């Protein structure tokens, strides 16, 4: 059987592709390259350059390959952008996923693994937060993820042969320990990526978005999870569904929180570079603290994280950032030269 990975040219999707290859799975990638890079798809993996809602591309993929599972990573992820352009987020994350699910049902695909987000909780009144916490997203991004979870729930109820796992990501960071992939986004908004860029001299410093939150040092606390552990949770979700396990919604985080200041200090310590960190205003929609209770993933999915260590996450993020800096920026024409309809 073959696994379809949407967004497989992106940060998390490309790590998933490597994980699946490591487990001897057959993989097809579909990606529109709006934020991903063709060079991030490993050589020899079938790659279709198309939108996830492109019916003819999906028809071709489902006809040419024996797909039994879809990993759906493609989507828009910038929270402040979602506040400014909400309809883009409903379209990219909710409507297009609806079209993809529709195709999956039509083709009798049994397993669907979805990239959800801790953003569905908003500002949870629970620490750590379990999946039973009420969902009250504070951004259109978070709402688009929640709406999609609801679509999956309702479609699975109407189609008993279709089962899904929605994994709620906490703060994903780091890079493949073997440096086969890493975070290569042209626009960075995530703290560890931004601090790593500052450490390698790609930017002058880091702004701390508010230091007056009700947390021990006044800066926001988050649960940072290594991307390789995250994709392992996805693989375990596939194993669970293939073994006949029921649909599941599960948090993916470690259960330990670090403040923005702690992360910045750790990046300075690991890199040995003392870059500037300036206190700025709060960013709209930031919750003071959000840390995962991941009991469900650990017990039901048998997820056993191997890289639960902030220093390791930062070391891998820095190593990848140094490599990107040495190679110089990859231009759009670099990507285009590597794109073919399917290779």
- Closer Cβ to ligand UDP, 13 or 137, answer by number: 137
Output the CA–CA distances (angstroms, integers) from residue 120 to 38, 140, 307, in the order listed: 30, 10, 25
Integer Cα distance of 15 and 22 in angstroms: 11
Q: What is the DSSP code string of 262-298?
A: HHHHHHHHHHT---EEEEEPPPTT--SEE-B--HHHH
The vertex-17 CA angle with 109 and 8, nearest 5°, equals: 75
How far apart are the C-alpha atoms of 219 and 264, rounded to whole Å? 11
Residue, CB closest to ligand UDP: 220
Name the pairing type of β-strands 221-222 and 205-209.
unpaired
State in angstroms the smallest separation of the CB of 312 from ligand UDP: 17
Residue 70 or 206 with smaller CB distance to ligand UDP: 206
Shortest Cβ distance from residue 170 to ligand UDP (Å)? 8
The whole-angstrom separation of Cα 64 and Cα 322 is 39
Closest of 54, 104, 44 to residue 342, by C-alpha: 44
Cβ closest to ligand UDP, residue 171 vs residue 271: 171
**Nearest to ligand UDP of 67, 227 (CB atom):** 227
Nearest approach, Cβ of residue 119 and ligand UDP (Å):
7
Structure tokens at 266: 């750790």
Structure tokens of 33? 């390259």
H or E element, residue 9 = none
Name the nearest CA neighbour of 11 among 119, 138, 121, 169.
169
Nearer to ligand UDP, 52 or 263 (CB): 263
CB of 303: closest distance to ligand UDP in angstroms? 20
Tokens for 121? 């909780």
* Residues 5, 17 contacting (CB under 8 angstroms): yes
- Complex with ligand UDP: residue 8 or 285, whichever CB lies closer: 285
Q: Which residues bind ligand UDP (CB under 6 A)?
A: 79, 171, 189-191, 194, 206-209, 220, 222, 260, 283, 286
Query: Which secondary structure element, helix H or strand E, spans residue 326, and what is its range?
Result: helix 310-327
Instruction: In angstroms, give the least distance from the CB of 8 to ligand UDP.
Output: 22
Closest approach of ligand UDP to the CB of residue 331, in Å: 25
Catalytic residue (one of 11, 89, 141, 224): 141
Active site residue 141: yes
User: Which residues are identified as catalytic?
Assistant: 141
């Amino acid at each position: 059987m073959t696994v379809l990975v949407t967004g497989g040219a992106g940060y998390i999707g490309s790590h998933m592709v490597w994980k699946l290859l490591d487990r001897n799975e057959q993989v097809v990638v579909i990606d529109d390259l709006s934020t991903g890079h063709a060079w991030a798809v490993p050589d020899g993996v079938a790659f279709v350059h198309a939108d996830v809602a492109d019916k003819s591309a999906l028809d071709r993929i489902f006809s040419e390959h024996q797909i039994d599972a879809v990993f759906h990573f493609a989507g828009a992820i910038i929270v402040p952008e979602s506040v400014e352009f909400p309809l883009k987020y409903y379209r990219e994350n909710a409507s297009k996923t609806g079209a993809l699910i529709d195709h999956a049902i039509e083709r009798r695909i049994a397993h669907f693994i979805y990239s959800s987000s801790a953003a569905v909780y908003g500002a949870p009144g629970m620490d750590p937060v379990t999946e039973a916490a009420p969902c009250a997203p504070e951004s259109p991004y978070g709402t688009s993820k929640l709406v999609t979870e609801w679509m999956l729930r309702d479609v699975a109820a109407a189609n008993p042969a279709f089962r899904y796992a929605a994994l709620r990501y906490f703060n994903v960071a780091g890079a493949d320990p073997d440096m086969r992939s890493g975070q290569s986004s042209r626009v960075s908004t995530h703290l560890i990526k931004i601090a790593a860029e500052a450490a390698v001299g790609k930017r002058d410093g880091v702004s701390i978005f508010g230091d007056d939150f009700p947390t021990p040092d006044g800066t926001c606390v988050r649960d940072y999870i290594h991307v390789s552990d995250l994709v392992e949770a996805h693989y375990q979700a596939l194993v669970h569904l293939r073994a006949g396990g029921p649909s599941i919604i599960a948090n993916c985080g470690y259960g330990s929180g670090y403040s923005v200041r702690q992360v910045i200090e750790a990046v300075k310590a690991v890199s040995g570079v003392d870059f500037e960190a300036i206190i700025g205003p709060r960013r709209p929609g930031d919750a003071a603290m959000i840390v995962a209770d991941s009991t469900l993933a650990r017990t039901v999915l048998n997820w056993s994280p191997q890289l639960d260590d902030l220093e390791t996450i930062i070391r891998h993020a820095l190593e990848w950032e140094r490599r990107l800096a040495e190679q110089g920026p990859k231009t759009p024409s670099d990507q285009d030269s590597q794109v073919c309809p399917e290779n």
